[in-house]
Amino acid sequence: SPDALAALKADLSGRVVLVEEPARVRKRSRDFFWYSPVLDAELKGLSGDLVAEPASEAEVIAVAAACARHRVPLTVRGGGTGNYGQAVPLHGGVVLDVSGLDRVEWQRDGAVRTGPGLRMNRLDALLAEGGEEIRMHPSTKRTASIGGFVAGGSGGIGSVNYGQLRERGNIRAARVVTLEPEPRVLELTGDAVNGVAHAYGTTGIVTALEMPLAPVHPWIDVIVAFDDFLTAAEVGLAVGRDPAITKKLITPIAWPLPQWFTPLRAQCPPGQAILIAMVSEASLPAFRARAARAGGTITLETPLDDSPGHTPLYEYSWNHTTLQVLKTDRSWTYLQSLHPADGLMESVAEMAALFPDEIVPHLELIEFAGRLTYAGIPLLKFTDAERLNHIIEAHEARGVSIANPHVYTLEDGTRHKRAETDQLGFKRLTDPMGLMNPGKMRTFTPAAQGA
Ligand code: FAD
């Protein structure tokens, strides 16, 4: 209510930087939900009432306490690059921009402890001095924060080696501020980190993270062109399984998607599928041999460069593949699928043939439960929600599971349609009044209104 907001502002003024100018607040209440025509219709125009910019954990605690005392919703924001409206406040209130919490505390024993607001490319630049890098990052590495990745992302470049973010050991520890009149600070380790991982900021404010690291390699960006998509996918899988090749990204993409990769036109021959890869420099001879044996033509081979003014190939992979297409044609949207590791290539071939006029395949090789398999982020020609649901059901009926990117609640976006039990229980401890990003965990009801 306006009274509660006024009281909250009075509480915080002079203690935490607050932004109230409506245009600036609206801008920082948005993310990339417009990717989905369904979410665009549902979330367009929603906004918080003000933005708080804490510079320390103590200031985070002050905001959390004020929100709890005055019953004002709070939505945490990192880089604002989520694509399911994760950072969009459904019920107004405070947008807590944590980008000021960007300090690395230490790097040792193959891990780093850092504030959540640090951008991942900045984090990797700091880590490289010690010969290490984060195990995996989303294709939005240059704009997204490490805290937003943990709370809103799922995996990406590096997942071919380490699996998705939520696989055991990929987050070592998280420090969490609860949303209560007297906020507590919890240190989560081991499996307890699942309470906040991919919880969309509904279960507490992450103020520090301990992430395991990987050795840094001189990565080479490579494109190989193939006459057909299935050959590209088969070579990708073979490269993934080849212990002589150190890799970080393996992405088969069917034509006509590369036709929208305008700056790469010369490297994407018309009518051909491509395989995008990041391999270590020392692995290039083994990689080239595999590509050549399968009839592929290498059209690009260049050291990874993601400094300003350059576009790394990873910005054509994962959800950036979708973005590159949407830049010119908004009639497309996408799905997120997971093929079974058993009968993988049969499954890939079956799905590539099933909706030839509506779906164009794009795969990402990942480790899943200890085995290599393909995740898919196919482009989908959008007609309406009913058709979309039919296509999703057709995938699931064939053993290809779908994480629906056209919904904003945690439960509906996962394969099992429920909040993980550890997250629902954890929310009762960290946010008993249900003020954190309300509406995103739909199975939660605050105790006062519960059954
Ligand atoms: P935000 O969007 O700011 O926040 C994401 C969620 O985390 C929100 O619910 C927010 O409330 C919560 N949150 C943020 N910080 C905290 C905190 N400190 N404590 C508690 N909750 C918090 N995702 C992938 O996993 N892999 C990809 O490859 C990938 N590619 C993408 C490509 C494009 C073009 C786009 C638009 C998105 C992509 N995404 C991908 C989604 C998104 O970019 C990533 O998940 C990214 O890591 C989110 O980070 P962020 O800082 O932008 O988070």
237-287 confidence digits (pLDDT tens): 999 999 999 999 999 999 999 999 999 999 999 999 999 999 999 999 999
- In this prediction, residue 403 carries a pLDDT of 86
Distances (CA, A) of 226 to 61, 160, 233, 255, 299: 55, 21, 10, 10, 10
The whole-angstrom separation of Cα 16 and Cα 14 is: 6
Burial class (CB in 10 A: 0-12, 13-18, 19+), 2: exposed
Q: Which of 27, 29, 56, 81 to mutate to test the pocket of ligand 1 (most atoms within 8 A of CB)?
A: 81
Cis peptide before 256 (omega within 30 of 0): yes
200 pocket-lining for ligand 1 (C-beta < 6 Å): yes
- In this prediction, residue 269 carries a pLDDT of 98
- In this prediction, residue 417 carries a pLDDT of 59
> 356: which 2 tokens?
């030839």
Atom in ligand 1 nearest the alpha carbon of residue 154: 25
Q: Is the pLDDT of residue 346 over 90?
A: yes
The whole-angstrom separation of Cα 262 and Cα 110 is: 39
- In this prediction, residue 450 carries a pLDDT of 41
Burial class (CB in 10 A: 0-12, 13-18, 19+), 108: exposed
Q: For the packed helices 344-354 and 229-241, what is the interaxial angle rounded to 10 degrees?
A: 150
The whole-angstrom separation of Cα 406 and Cα 263 is: 29
Are 306 and 138 within 8 A, CB to CB?
A: no
The whole-angstrom separation of Cα 108 and Cα 193 is: 20
Question: If residue 211 lies in a helix (H) or strand (E), which one and from where to where?
Answer: strand 205-215
The whole-angstrom separation of Cα 65 and Cα 184 is: 10
Note the pLDDT tens digit of each residue in 379-438. 999 888 899 899 999 999 999 999 888 899 988 877 665 667 688 889 999 999 999 999
Q: Is the pLDDT of residue 451 over 50?
A: no
> 200: which 2 tokens?
């969309």
Note the pLDDT tens digit of each residue in 23-50. 999 999 999 999 888 899 999 999 999 9
DSSP 17: E
Task: Let me know if domain 219-402 sits in CATH 3.40.50.800.
Answer: no
Partnered with residue 297 across adjacent β-strands are: 225
The residue nearest atom 18 of ligand 1, judged by CA position, is 206
Q: CB under 8 Å to 449, separation ≥6 — which residues?
A: none
Average pLDDT over residues 356-376: 96
Instruction: Choose which CATH entry (2.60.120.200, 3.50.50.60, 3.30.465.10, 3.90.850.10) describes domain 1-216+418-433.
Output: 3.30.465.10
pLDDT band at 449 (very low <50, low <70, confident <90, very high): very low
Atom in ligand 1 nearest the alpha carbon of residue 323: 34
283 pocket-lining for ligand 1 (C-beta < 6 Å): no
> 167: which 2 tokens?
């696989």
Note the pLDDT tens digit of each residue in 277-325. 999 999 999 999 999 999 999 999 999 999 999 999 999 999 999 999 9
- In this prediction, residue 416 carries a pLDDT of 60
412 alpha carbon to ligand 1 midpoint, in Å?
Answer: 17
- In this prediction, residue 415 carries a pLDDT of 62
- In this prediction, residue 156 carries a pLDDT of 97
Distances (CA, A) of 301 to 150, 231, 333: 31, 20, 30
The lowest-confidence range among 74-88, 163-177, 205-219, 397-411 is 397-411
Average pLDDT over residues 127-135: 96
Partnered with residue 219 across adjacent β-strands are: 280
Pairing type for strands 273-280 and 247-253 reads: antiparallel
Own/partner pairs for 393-399, CB < 8 Å, 24+ apart?
Answer: 394/354, 394/355, 395/335, 395/337, 395/351, 398/347, 398/350, 398/351, 398/354, 399/340, 399/347
Q: Is the pLDDT of residue 233 over 60?
A: yes
408 alpha carbon to ligand 1 midpoint, in Å?
Answer: 13
DSSP 137: B
Domain boundaries defined on the chain: 1-216+418-433, 219-402
Asked if domains 1-216+418-433 and 219-402 share a fold, the reply is no
The residue nearest atom 46 of ligand 1, judged by CA position, is 149
Q: Which of 75, 121, 149, 423 to mutate to test the pocket of ligand 1 (most atoms within 8 A of CB)?
A: 149
Burial class (CB in 10 A: 0-12, 13-18, 19+), 348: buried
